[in-house]
Protein backbone atom coordinates (compact mmCIF):
# COMPACT_ATOMS: atom_id res chain seq x y z
CA UNK A 1 0.00 0.00 0.00
CA UNK A 2 1.36 3.43 -0.95
CA UNK A 3 2.05 5.70 2.01
CA UNK A 4 2.07 9.01 0.15
CA UNK A 5 -1.39 9.49 -1.34
CA UNK A 6 -2.32 13.02 -2.40
CA UNK A 7 -5.41 14.74 -0.99
CA UNK A 8 -6.75 15.33 -4.51
CA UNK A 9 -7.37 11.58 -4.86
CA UNK A 10 -9.49 11.48 -1.71
CA UNK A 11 -11.26 14.65 -2.86
CA UNK A 12 -12.35 12.91 -6.05
CA UNK A 13 -13.27 9.83 -3.98
CA UNK A 14 -15.65 11.92 -1.86
CA UNK A 15 -17.03 13.55 -5.00
CA UNK A 16 -17.97 10.17 -6.49
CA UNK A 17 -19.39 9.03 -3.15
CA UNK A 18 -21.61 12.10 -2.98
CA UNK A 19 -22.66 12.22 -6.64
CA UNK A 20 -22.69 8.53 -7.56
CA UNK A 21 -20.89 9.00 -10.87
CA UNK A 22 -17.65 10.27 -12.41
CA UNK A 23 -19.48 12.95 -14.38
CA UNK A 24 -21.33 14.20 -11.30
CA UNK A 25 -18.14 14.36 -9.29
CA UNK A 26 -16.42 16.22 -12.12
CA UNK A 27 -19.16 18.87 -12.18
CA UNK A 28 -19.05 19.17 -8.40
CA UNK A 29 -15.27 19.57 -8.27
CA UNK A 30 -14.84 21.65 -11.41
CA UNK A 31 -12.50 19.20 -13.12
CA UNK A 32 -12.85 16.84 -16.08
CA UNK A 33 -14.45 13.40 -15.93
CA UNK A 34 -11.28 11.63 -17.14
CA UNK A 35 -9.34 13.32 -14.33
CA UNK A 36 -11.80 11.99 -11.73
CA UNK A 37 -11.52 8.53 -13.30
CA UNK A 38 -7.72 8.63 -13.11
CA UNK A 39 -7.90 9.76 -9.49
CA UNK A 40 -10.18 6.87 -8.52
CA UNK A 41 -8.03 4.34 -10.38
CA UNK A 42 -4.87 5.72 -8.75
CA UNK A 43 -6.43 5.60 -5.29
CA UNK A 44 -7.64 2.04 -5.76
CA UNK A 45 -4.17 1.01 -6.94
CA UNK A 46 -2.47 2.79 -4.03
CA UNK A 47 -4.80 1.22 -1.46
CA UNK A 48 -4.94 -2.15 -3.16
CA UNK A 49 -8.75 -2.35 -2.96
CA UNK A 50 -11.78 -1.77 -5.17
CA UNK A 51 -13.76 1.30 -4.11
CA UNK A 52 -16.67 1.27 -6.55
CA UNK A 53 -18.60 -1.18 -8.67
CA UNK A 54 -20.64 -0.25 -11.73
CA UNK A 55 -24.42 -0.61 -11.69
CA UNK A 56 -27.35 0.57 -13.77
CA UNK A 57 -27.78 3.58 -11.47
CA UNK A 58 -24.11 4.61 -11.47
CA UNK A 59 -21.11 3.77 -9.33
CA UNK A 60 -21.90 1.89 -6.12
CA UNK A 61 -19.43 2.18 -3.22
CA UNK A 62 -17.95 -1.03 -1.89
CA UNK A 63 -17.90 -1.86 1.81
CA UNK A 64 -14.31 -0.61 1.98
CA UNK A 65 -15.34 2.72 0.43
CA UNK A 66 -18.10 3.19 2.98
CA UNK A 67 -15.61 2.45 5.75
CA UNK A 68 -13.25 5.10 4.39
CA UNK A 69 -15.96 7.76 4.07
CA UNK A 70 -15.64 9.13 7.62
CA UNK A 71 -11.84 9.31 7.40
CA UNK A 72 -12.01 11.11 4.06
CA UNK A 73 -14.54 13.59 5.50
CA UNK A 74 -12.11 14.29 8.34
CA UNK A 75 -9.39 15.01 5.78
CA UNK A 76 -11.78 17.31 3.91
CA UNK A 77 -12.65 19.22 7.08
CA UNK A 78 -8.99 19.55 8.01
CA UNK A 79 -8.05 20.81 4.55
CA UNK A 80 -10.84 23.40 4.69
CA UNK A 81 -9.78 24.47 8.19
CA UNK A 82 -6.20 24.94 6.98
CA UNK A 83 -7.47 27.19 4.19
CA UNK A 84 -9.55 29.23 6.66
CA UNK A 85 -6.61 29.62 9.02
CA UNK A 86 -4.32 30.63 6.16
CA UNK A 87 -6.82 33.29 5.07
CA UNK A 88 -6.31 35.10 8.37
CA UNK A 89 -3.05 36.94 8.77
CA UNK A 90 -1.69 38.98 11.69
CA UNK A 91 -3.99 40.65 14.22
CA UNK A 92 -6.56 42.00 11.77
CA UNK A 93 -10.09 40.61 11.74
CA UNK A 94 -10.04 39.10 8.27
CA UNK A 95 -10.28 35.80 6.46
CA UNK A 96 -12.91 33.07 6.51
CA UNK A 97 -14.94 31.97 9.53
CA UNK A 98 -17.36 29.02 9.29
CA UNK A 99 -20.48 29.13 11.47
CA UNK A 100 -22.89 26.25 12.03
CA UNK A 101 -26.44 26.82 13.26
CA UNK A 102 -29.87 25.23 13.12
CA UNK A 103 -32.16 26.07 10.22
CA UNK A 104 -34.42 28.51 12.08
CA UNK A 105 -31.62 30.24 13.99
CA UNK A 106 -29.55 30.50 10.81
CA UNK A 107 -32.38 31.94 8.70
CA UNK A 108 -34.41 33.98 11.18
CA UNK A 109 -31.95 35.14 13.85
CA UNK A 110 -28.33 35.22 12.64
CA UNK A 111 -28.56 37.26 9.38
CA UNK A 112 -28.82 40.71 11.05
CA UNK A 113 -26.06 39.74 13.50
CA UNK A 114 -23.79 38.68 10.65
CA UNK A 115 -24.70 41.80 8.65
CA UNK A 116 -23.59 44.05 11.53
CA UNK A 117 -20.43 42.00 11.97
CA UNK A 118 -19.56 42.39 8.28
CA UNK A 119 -20.22 46.14 8.42
CA UNK A 120 -17.68 46.44 11.21
CA UNK A 121 -15.20 44.02 9.64
CA UNK A 122 -15.61 44.00 5.84
CA UNK A 123 -12.48 41.85 5.37
CA UNK A 124 -14.19 39.01 7.21
CA UNK A 125 -15.83 36.32 5.09
CA UNK A 126 -18.56 34.22 6.68
CA UNK A 127 -19.58 30.69 5.70
CA UNK A 128 -22.97 29.91 7.24
CA UNK A 129 -23.80 26.20 7.47
CA UNK A 130 -27.43 25.42 8.28
CA UNK A 131 -28.02 22.01 9.81
CA UNK A 132 -29.84 20.54 12.79
CA UNK A 133 -27.04 17.99 13.05
CA UNK A 134 -24.49 18.65 15.79
CA UNK A 135 -21.37 19.39 13.77
CA UNK A 136 -18.06 18.11 15.14
CA UNK A 137 -15.99 21.13 16.12
CA UNK A 138 -13.15 18.86 17.24
CA UNK A 139 -12.94 17.54 13.68
CA UNK A 140 -12.98 21.16 12.39
CA UNK A 141 -16.26 20.82 10.47
CA UNK A 142 -16.92 24.42 11.54
CA UNK A 143 -15.12 27.11 13.52
CA UNK A 144 -18.08 28.20 15.63
CA UNK A 145 -21.42 26.52 16.33
CA UNK A 146 -24.68 27.76 17.80
CA UNK A 147 -26.06 24.75 19.66
CA UNK A 148 -29.36 23.99 21.31
CA UNK A 149 -27.78 21.82 23.99
CA UNK A 150 -24.82 22.06 26.34
CA UNK A 151 -21.49 20.99 24.79
CA UNK A 152 -19.82 18.07 26.56
CA UNK A 153 -16.29 18.10 25.09
CA UNK A 154 -13.68 19.68 27.38
CA UNK A 155 -11.72 21.05 24.41
CA UNK A 156 -14.52 23.47 23.50
CA UNK A 157 -14.94 27.06 24.61
CA UNK A 158 -18.63 27.54 25.34
CA UNK A 159 -20.80 30.50 26.35
CA UNK A 160 -24.30 29.91 27.59
CA UNK A 161 -26.75 32.37 26.07
CA UNK A 162 -29.73 31.26 28.10
CA UNK A 163 -33.03 29.65 27.24
CA UNK A 164 -35.19 30.46 24.25
CA UNK A 165 -38.81 29.80 25.16
CA UNK A 166 -40.89 27.67 22.83
CA UNK A 167 -44.67 27.92 22.75
CA UNK A 168 -47.66 26.89 20.68
CA UNK A 169 -48.63 29.43 18.03
CA UNK A 170 -51.05 29.80 15.16
CA UNK A 171 -52.01 32.45 12.66
CA UNK A 172 -54.87 34.65 13.89
CA UNK A 173 -56.98 33.78 10.81
CA UNK A 174 -56.70 30.08 11.64
CA UNK A 175 -57.82 30.69 15.22
CA UNK A 176 -60.70 32.88 14.06
CA UNK A 177 -61.91 30.05 11.84
CA UNK A 178 -61.29 27.08 14.14
CA UNK A 179 -61.39 28.59 17.60
CA UNK A 180 -58.79 28.91 20.36
CA UNK A 181 -58.11 25.70 22.32
CA UNK A 182 -58.77 26.11 26.05
CA UNK A 183 -56.59 23.18 27.16
CA UNK A 184 -54.29 20.53 25.73
CA UNK A 185 -57.16 18.07 25.32
CA UNK A 186 -58.82 20.40 22.81
CA UNK A 187 -55.79 20.19 20.51
CA UNK A 188 -57.33 16.97 19.17
CA UNK A 189 -59.85 19.08 17.30
CA UNK A 190 -57.16 21.15 15.54
CA UNK A 191 -54.59 20.76 12.79
CA UNK A 192 -51.34 20.24 14.70
CA UNK A 193 -47.99 20.83 13.03
CA UNK A 194 -45.19 18.64 14.38
CA UNK A 195 -42.02 16.71 13.68
CA UNK A 196 -41.66 13.57 11.59
CA UNK A 197 -38.69 11.78 13.16
CA UNK A 198 -37.44 12.87 16.61
CA UNK A 199 -34.01 14.51 16.60
CA UNK A 200 -31.56 14.95 19.49
CA UNK A 201 -33.43 18.00 20.81
CA UNK A 202 -36.83 16.28 20.67
CA UNK A 203 -35.42 13.28 22.52
CA UNK A 204 -33.85 15.55 25.16
CA UNK A 205 -37.21 17.17 25.97
CA UNK A 206 -39.29 14.03 25.48
CA UNK A 207 -40.71 14.05 29.00
CA UNK A 208 -41.84 17.65 28.57
CA UNK A 209 -43.95 16.99 25.48
CA UNK A 210 -45.60 13.75 26.50
CA UNK A 211 -48.92 15.58 26.70
CA UNK A 212 -48.86 16.08 22.93
CA UNK A 213 -49.22 12.70 21.24
CA UNK A 214 -47.61 12.38 17.81
CA UNK A 215 -50.90 10.88 16.62
CA UNK A 216 -52.33 14.40 16.85
CA UNK A 217 -50.03 15.67 14.11
CA UNK A 218 -51.99 16.52 10.98
CA UNK A 219 -48.88 17.97 9.34
CA UNK A 220 -45.35 16.80 10.05
CA UNK A 221 -41.88 17.69 8.85
CA UNK A 222 -38.33 17.29 10.09
CA UNK A 223 -37.58 20.77 8.76
CA UNK A 224 -38.07 23.45 11.40
CA UNK A 225 -38.32 26.01 8.59
CA UNK A 226 -41.13 24.04 6.98
CA UNK A 227 -42.99 23.87 10.29
CA UNK A 228 -42.58 27.63 10.74
CA UNK A 229 -43.79 28.29 7.20
CA UNK A 230 -46.88 26.14 7.81
CA UNK A 231 -47.67 28.07 11.00
CA UNK A 232 -47.26 31.38 9.18
CA UNK A 233 -49.47 30.15 6.33
CA UNK A 234 -52.33 29.40 8.72
CA UNK A 235 -52.16 25.64 8.28
CA UNK A 236 -52.52 24.90 11.98
CA UNK A 237 -51.00 25.15 15.45
CA UNK A 238 -47.32 24.43 15.95
CA UNK A 239 -44.31 25.07 18.15
CA UNK A 240 -42.44 28.32 17.51
CA UNK A 241 -39.76 30.29 19.32
CA UNK A 242 -41.58 32.92 21.40
CA UNK A 243 -39.27 35.86 20.60
CA UNK A 244 -39.52 34.97 16.91
CA UNK A 245 -43.32 34.81 16.99
CA UNK A 246 -43.46 38.19 18.71
CA UNK A 247 -41.99 39.76 15.60
CA UNK A 248 -45.03 38.69 13.55
CA UNK A 249 -48.31 40.39 14.47
CA UNK A 250 -50.18 37.71 12.51
CA UNK A 251 -49.13 35.00 14.96
CA UNK A 252 -50.87 34.39 18.28
CA UNK A 253 -49.71 32.22 21.14
CA UNK A 254 -52.13 29.70 22.63
CA UNK A 255 -52.14 27.65 25.83
CA UNK A 256 -49.42 29.83 27.33
CA UNK A 257 -49.80 28.42 30.83
CA UNK A 258 -50.17 24.81 29.65
CA UNK A 259 -47.30 24.53 27.19
CA UNK A 260 -43.86 26.12 27.51
CA UNK A 261 -40.44 24.65 26.73
CA UNK A 262 -36.99 26.10 27.32
CA UNK A 263 -34.40 25.59 24.61
CA UNK A 264 -30.85 25.89 25.95
CA UNK A 265 -28.68 27.96 23.63
CA UNK A 266 -24.88 27.97 23.53
CA UNK A 267 -22.17 29.47 21.33
CA UNK A 268 -19.15 27.16 21.09
CA UNK A 269 -15.79 26.90 19.36
CA UNK A 270 -12.58 24.88 19.67
CA UNK A 271 -10.26 26.20 22.36
CA UNK A 272 -7.40 26.39 19.83
CA UNK A 273 -9.28 29.20 18.06
CA UNK A 274 -9.69 31.48 21.09
CA UNK A 275 -6.68 33.58 20.02
CA UNK A 276 -7.76 33.83 16.38
CA UNK A 277 -8.99 37.41 15.73
CA UNK A 278 -11.53 36.29 13.12
CA UNK A 279 -13.01 33.61 15.41
CA UNK A 280 -12.85 35.54 18.66
CA UNK A 281 -14.57 38.58 17.13
CA UNK A 282 -17.24 36.45 15.48
CA UNK A 283 -17.79 34.46 18.68
CA UNK A 284 -18.32 37.66 20.70
CA UNK A 285 -20.67 39.11 18.06
CA UNK A 286 -22.81 35.97 18.09
CA UNK A 287 -22.98 35.96 21.88
CA UNK A 288 -24.03 39.62 21.99
CA UNK A 289 -26.60 39.26 19.23
CA UNK A 290 -28.16 36.09 20.57
CA UNK A 291 -28.32 37.51 24.10
CA UNK A 292 -30.23 40.49 22.72
CA UNK A 293 -32.59 38.08 20.96
CA UNK A 294 -33.30 36.09 24.14
CA UNK A 295 -33.59 39.28 26.21
CA UNK A 296 -36.45 40.40 23.97
CA UNK A 297 -38.39 37.38 25.17
CA UNK A 298 -37.50 37.96 28.82
CA UNK A 299 -38.55 41.60 28.63
CA UNK A 300 -41.78 40.73 26.84
CA UNK A 301 -41.00 42.98 23.86
Q: How confident is the model at residue 73 (pLDDT cuts 50, 70, 90)?
A: confident
Confidence of residue 204 (pLDDT cuts 50, 70, 90): low
What confidence score (pLDDT) does residue 299 get?
A: 45
CATH code 3.40.190.10 region(s) in the chain: 92-162+264-296, 163-263
Residues 6+ apart with CB under 8 A from 104: 224, 225, 228, 241, 244
pLDDT of residue 179: 96
- Where in the chain are all domains bearing CATH 1.10.10.10? 7-86
Residue 65 C-beta-side C-alpha neighbours within 13 Å: 20
The Cα–Cα gap between 57 and 31 comes to 22
Q: Is the pLDDT of residue 10 over 70?
A: yes
User: If phi over 0 gives left and psi between -120 and 50 gives alpha, with beta otherwise, what is residue 221?
Assistant: beta
Q: Quick one: fold of 7-86? A: Arc Repressor Mutant, subunit A (1.10.10)
Q: Rounded mean pLDDT of the chain?
A: 87
119-129 pLDDT, tens per residue?
999 999 999 98
Give the architecture-level CATH label for domain 92-162+264-296: 3-Layer(aba) Sandwich (3.40)
The pLDDT-based confidence of 136 (bands split at 50, 70, 90) is low
Entry pTM: 0.71
Residue 239 or 56, more confident? 239
Q: Report the residue count for the chain.
A: 301
Q: Note the CATH number of domain 163-263.
A: 3.40.190.10
Task: Write down the pLDDT at residue 85.
Answer: 76
| Alpha-carbon span 215 to 238, nearest angstrom | 14
DSSP assignment letter at 216:
G
Q: What is the pLDDT of residues 253-279, one digit of tens each?
A: 999 998 888 888 999 988 888 888 999
Each residue of 43-55: b (16+ CB within 10 Å) or e? bbeebeeebbeee
Contacts of 267 (CB under 8 A, 6+ apart): 144, 145, 146, 147, 158, 159, 161, 283, 286, 287, 290
Amino acid sequence: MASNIGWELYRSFLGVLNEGSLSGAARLLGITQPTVGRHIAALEKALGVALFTRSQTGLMPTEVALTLRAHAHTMESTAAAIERAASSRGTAVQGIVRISASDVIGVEVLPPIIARLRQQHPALKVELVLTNRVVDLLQLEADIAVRMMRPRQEQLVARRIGQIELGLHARTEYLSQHGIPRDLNELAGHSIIGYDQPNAFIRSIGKSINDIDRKLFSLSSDSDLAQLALIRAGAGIGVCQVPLAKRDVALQRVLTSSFSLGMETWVTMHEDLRNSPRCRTTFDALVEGLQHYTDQDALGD
